[in-house]
Amino acid sequence: MSVAFNLTNSLKDNFGFINNVSKESGQPVEQCYQCGKCTAGCPVAFAMDYPPHRVLRMVQLGLKENVLRSQAIWLCAGCSTCTSRCPRNVDLAQVMDCLRSLAKREGVPLDDRARDVSLFYDCFLNTVEDNGKLYELGMMLNYNLKTRQLFKNANTGLAMLTRNKIKFLPAKTKNRRDVAMIFQRVRELEGKAR
């Protein structure tokens, strides 16, 4: 009795996950017929734990935990090569984006490279929110602090500074407050506080 009950619940969870991803990404994930063209063109597939077509298959099978804990969704560079190659009109880049967002929202624990990429996104967005635009040096320092690699790429950063490719101080952005308000509004919609 309890085995049947658990099985029913887990099937419900699986369907819930598939529907969620379809709805949030706006993509017909059920249409994928596993031709593999996305993976064949993906420039990052070699570094992923699951290639892109397999990520989509796992979504179709409702394997929520495996998908949301995968490094693949964080290593995806969002280049949209897969999207342009798909014969079933599945925008896989959009699906990957949606999966990252779900993983964040559900507080899924991330490993190694996935955690570093997620931190990089956070540092990027924080600096845009604080300064109204990207402040490269601030973002790099923040990222190095959070990943505990204080001097990572220090030589490159120094070379860029001396060649005036990046600024020492953040630029003064006219619409800084408007940008901060956009972040605030998104946070309210997501029911979060900073």
Q: Kindly state the smallest distance separating residue 7's Cβ from ligand SF4, in Å.
A: 28
Tell me which residue of 34, 147, 51 sits closest to 96, measured CA to CA.
51
Which residue, 85 or 133, is less far from ligand SF4 as judged by CB?
85
What's the alpha-carbon Rg for the chain, to the nearest Å? Answer: 20
Q: Which residues inside 89-108 make contact with ligand SF4, applying CB under 6 A? A: 90, 92-93, 96
Q: What's the token pair of residue 84? A: 């342009």
Using an 8 Å Cβ cutoff, are 161 and 137 in contact?
yes
Cβ–Cβ < 8 Å for 72, 92: no
Closest distance of CB 161 from ligand SF4, Å: 30
Question: Which residue, chain included where needed, has tokens 């031709």?
Answer: 35
Q: Would you count residue 34 as binding ligand SF4 (CB under 6 A)?
A: yes
Nearer to ligand SF4, 82 or 102 (CB): 82
**54 or 170, CB closer to ligand SF4?**
54
Binding site for ligand SF4 (CB under 6 A): 32-38, 41-42, 44, 52-53, 56, 76-82, 85-88, 90, 92-93, 96
